Amino acid sequence: MKPVYFDSAATTKVRDEVINAMTTVMRNDYGNASSTHSFGRSSKVLIEQARKTIAKQLNVSAGEIVFTSGGTEADNLALQCAIRDLGVEHIITSKIEHHAVLHTIEQLEKTCGIQVSYVKLDADGQVDFNHLEELLETHGKTLVSLMYVNNEIGNILDVKRVSHLCQSNNALFHCDAVQCIGHYQLDLQDIHIDFLAASAHKFHGPKGVGFAFIRKNSGLKPLIFGGQQERGIRAGTEAVHDIVGLEKAFVMAYANLETESAYVLELKRHFIAELKLAFPDVRFNGMSGNLEKSTYTLINVCLPIPPEKALILLFQMDLKGIACSKGSACQSGSTKGSHVLSEILSEADLKKPSIRFSFSIYNTKDEIDYVISVLKEFVKA
């Protein structure tokens, strides 16, 4: 069996078409986009075309798209600058956000003295909207930061409901949409989000590039100072080949969204059915076992395996050529385990192995069957 990659929530395989587009740019369009000669102008045209492409899909203006090094920078840009530039005194978030958001907010709490509130979650990690509304009604200038799709348990947030609550209470809404963009349609005229983060490597594009959506007339000023690139919001010479790669991946993701999402959803449906058949006591963490309320791209399973065997499960999977994750790849080197699962699982379930399997168009049902056979063999051993 060839190696099996079931960790696309961490990063995706880059499409061949994206690689081809990027290498063409690196070979031919190497001018600095800030230069006024023809080489620079040709690079500038590519960047602005990419900006327009993304803006059109999201139904916003091109000037509201700012290219960044990825989702983490986009999150930091919105959160740090909202405190510094917009007079935000209070941030509402949840304890199962990505660390790009949580650690930034923790630092802002220490250095800026802002108030931070954590909205209550139910046992499946879903937001308590009654509590969110209470928090919005009892504080001053507020920013809500909640992710669209949770990267570990796959829960999909009702962003429209959050948006309405924020607008009703004159609060700003920041959304980490890293696991959403490229996988779901999003109309930012229909859903009022003030600041949004996206990253190319989550939808078969290159690493090291993403974008922030910053709604016009927001008042945000730069986080990184230097030149006047990105309309003065984000200094630094643009990586033209990365931006073109992002655009190509973005265009292909939405051009093929209906067929590719249906294919991946069928993989998830098959995986769930086979897991239940092989392990009747299996549990799906969060809403990941619910095909309507979680993303079609991942499942997070708690396996009925004794604690002493749980410690070596991921190692055994790797030996068998299977790439998966015990949680976010960003914390894979940590001994603390998943902060998301720690919030929603019982002490007993935390001692059992929980694994995130995340899929893409490059996976097959045969690979799923192989994973199931490896798990069954491990449990019986």
| Domains of the chain, first to last | 4-12+257-380 (3.90.1150.10), 16-255 (3.40.640.10)
Please identify every stretch of the chain with a pLDDT value under 50, giving residue numbers as ranges. 328-334
Q: What is the pLDDT of residue 326?
A: 83
Q: What is the pLDDT of residue 93?
A: 98
Structure token digits, residue 252: 């292909």
Closest residue by Cα to residue 355 from 307, 276, 284:
284
Helices and strands: H and E segment counts in the chain:
12, 12
Closest residue by Cα to residue 256 from 245, 264, 267:
264
Closest residue by Cα to residue 286 from 235, 354, 205:
354
Catalytic residue numbers? 330
Number of other residues whose CB lies within 10 A of the CB of residue 156: 20
DSSP percent split of the chain into helix, strand, coil, nearest 5? 45, 15, 40
Q: What is the pLDDT of residue 331?
A: 44
- Enter the pTM of the model: 0.95
Helix (H, G, I), strand (E, B) or coil at 300: strand
> Starting at the edge strand that comes first in sequence, how are the strands of the sheet with 283-284 ordered?
283-284, 298-302, 354-358
Q: What is the pLDDT of residue 328?
A: 45
The dihedral over CA atoms of 323, 151, 51, 185, expressed in degrees to the nearest 10, equals: 110
- Measured distance CA(299)–CA(268) in Å, rounded: 7
- Measured distance CA(207)–CA(248) in Å, rounded: 13
- Measured distance CA(37)–CA(125) in Å, rounded: 53
Q: What is the pLDDT of residue 335?
A: 53
Helix (H, G, I), strand (E, B) or coil at 18: helix
Number of other residues whose CB lies within 10 A of the CB of residue 30: 12
